[in-house]
Structure 1
Amino acid sequence: MTQARIQERLDQRDLFRRGNKDGLGLQAVAGADFGDDGAVGKTRYPRNQGAHDVLPPLETNSFSFGCQVGIPPTREASMTAIATAQQQQEGTDLLSRLRFSILSLELVPGEPISERSLEAQFKMSRTPIREALFHLVRDGLVIREGRGYAVAPFDMEEIEEVFAFRDIVEPAAVRLAARLATDAETDAIRRSITLGHQEFTPERWLDLGLDFHVRCAALSRNRCLTAAMQDVTLRTVRARWLSFASEEGRATTHREHSEILDLICAKDETGAACAVLAHSAAVRQDVRKAINSARRFMGRRGVVGE
């Protein structure tokens, strides 16, 4: 081996050692100027200068350090997080709009629903539409029909079962409510039902229809009773809307709700339980009558059961 070649190998070893000493390892060698034969070129690091003085410093946010704690998110990551939050909000809004369309009978029971038609109607992608339909199927407002979907028809047998279950759950809930509710809680419910009656809109009524019985059940401080009443009211609110469209029906409901609340405020457990049973019986009769009257415009697909 020639003297020049030996010197080149010694210089290469020296370069590697100084790179390791500075904590850069092979990067010092990788940044050097290699000739065609693989030997280090004529440009040398000065003896009093480390590799870190010549090579550019490692970026602390580079791939090899990407898992370090405390590195601020990049602009791209922040924009992605914002876009994700917006998509989640749009999905929530879509679910609310579809639920209202079904509960208010804008979408008729038995009416077919396709993902493609919803995409065109709401100008949204397929993913949030599928998520909304998943929630509506879970709530019993939409059913799978072949490879598509349809608005759930009125199931007369299910309605009877729901009211029978309600007659077990709600008296127990209002008995506890009469025992445990505070004046502030009942006053808040009274303001809500009064506002809903005085300033009627379909949206407010749907909120109130789902809200009054659930809020009264929540006064029981029993989460299972509250969840049961939420399910019951959700399953009957569409049918209730048919009988509530008239001013007379709204006035009757407001009066009966107010009477139930008065009995809860008076700590009359038995009276409150009897009042919700009487209210439930009247609602059941109104619902059956309203559905039978609406059969002609809903068609055969809109009602199943009896």
Structure 2
Amino acid sequence: MESTYDRLRELIVSGAYPPGQRITEQDLCVRLTVSRTPVREALHRLESDGLVRGERRGVSIVELDGKALADAYRIRAALEALTAELAAHRQLAGELPPAALTRLARLAEAADQTTTSGDLAAGVRHNRAFHRHVAVLADNPQALAMLDRIWDQIIVSTRASLAAPARPATVDEEHQRLITAISEGRPAEAATAARDHVLATLAAQPDPDTGGAP
């Protein structure tokens, strides 16, 4: 069963509560049909995650400003370089099952197809699933948890400006480069591919000071 924290986090990340919106504990108790205690505990966790900010009455959904969003992308780039490197090391050591790499390729294909077809929301979900799977393959739970938090902040702060990527073919090529480096057990190349991909995503946004859709 999903916890109150998980349910509320999903509502925020999915856009049910847009950045800047104020919500009260009572509103959430009614929507989630739970008591104040689990709601209060969930909000404390979400505040530490950087998704909500305490107000006099309830909380408001956080939207990162331009510098904070660019900083989040750069942190994501460093973490994804690490997880890609670790995943490639595990492949080199023979620790990754073929099915895990097949899933990585399928997630990249789904991200490319949905984005190209114009289903941008689905494209974002599949893109995140692709990158998250790389972190799963790295087998580093702390890095995965940190990436989940950074991805949440980026998605919440960029959902309103979601637009078709300026370089869909290039994005898929970068994903394929990353897949190849991991599959062939080349850690340094995998780290570079992951880092360059995230930084290129940041640089390709219409306004580099405000970041953009992941």
**TM-score, with normalisation over the residues of structure 2?**
0.73
1:191-235 deviations in Å (ceiling 9; x for gaps): 233235446767755543443223212323333433333333233
Shift of 1:251: 5.8
- Please say if 1:266 is aligned against 2:184: yes
Flag the 1:235–1:268 CA change in 2: closer, same or farther, 3 A. Answer: same
1:72-108 deviations in Å (ceiling 9; x for gaps): xxxxxxxxxxxxxxxxx3x62x544432332233422
Of 3, 9, 14, the residue aligned with 1:104 is 14
Q: Distance in 1 between matches of 2:81 and 2:187?
A: 9
Shift of 1:261: 1.3
1:155-183 deviations in Å (ceiling 9; x for gaps): 33332333333343332322222222333
| Contact 1:112–1:149 under 8 Å retained in 2 | yes
Alignment of 1:130-209 (within 5 A): 130-181=40-91, 182=96, 183-198=98-113, 205=123, 207-209=125-127
Q: Distance in 2 between matches of 1:280 and 1:241?
A: 17
| Contact 2:78–2:195 under 8 Å retained in 1 | no
Instruction: Choose 1 or 2 for highest CA Rg.
Output: 1
| Contact 2:19–2:156 under 8 Å retained in 1 | no
Shift of 1:142: 0.9
Flag the 1:105–1:287 CA change in 2: closer, same or farther, 3 A. Answer: farther
| Contact 1:119–1:125 under 8 Å retained in 2 | yes
| Contact 2:70–2:210 under 8 Å retained in 1 | no
1:245-282 deviations in Å (ceiling 9; x for gaps): 42766665444323311221122333322222221112
Aligned partner of 2:129 in structure 1 is 211
| Contact 2:202–2:211 under 8 Å retained in 1 | no
| Contact 1:143–1:150 under 8 Å retained in 2 | yes
1:139-163 deviations in Å (ceiling 9; x for gaps): 2111111242100122333323333
Shift of 1:112: 0.9
- Which amino acid letter does the alignment assign opposite residue 138 of structure 1? S
Aligned partner of 1:299 in structure 2 is none
Flag the 1:240–1:220 CA change in 2: closer, same or farther, 3 A. Answer: same
Gaps of 5+ in 1: 1-88, 295-306
Flag the 1:112–1:244 CA change in 2: closer, same or farther, 3 A. Answer: closer
Q: Distance in 2 between matches of 1:250 and 1:241?
A: 18
Greater relative contact order, per chain length (Cα 8 Å cut-off, separation 6+): 2
| Contact 2:19–2:157 under 8 Å retained in 1 | no
3-state SS, counterpart of residue 219 of structure 1: helix
- The two structures, once aligned, show a CA RMSD in angstroms of 3.4
Q: Distance in 1 between matches of 2:120 and 2:25?
A: 26
Of 198, 203, 209, the residue aligned with 1:280 is 198
Q: Distance in 2 between matches of 1:249 and 1:243?
A: 16
Q: Distance in 1 between matches of 2:61 and 2:206?
A: 19
**TM-score, with normalisation over the residues of structure 1?**
0.54
| Contact 2:25–2:40 under 8 Å retained in 1 | yes
Q: Distance in 2 between matches of 1:256 and 1:242?
A: 25
Tell me how many residue pairs correspond in the alignment: 204
- Please say if 1:237 is aligned against 2:155: yes
Q: Distance in 2 between matches of 1:289 and 1:169?
A: 23
- Please say if 1:114 is aligned against 2:32: no
Identity %: 26
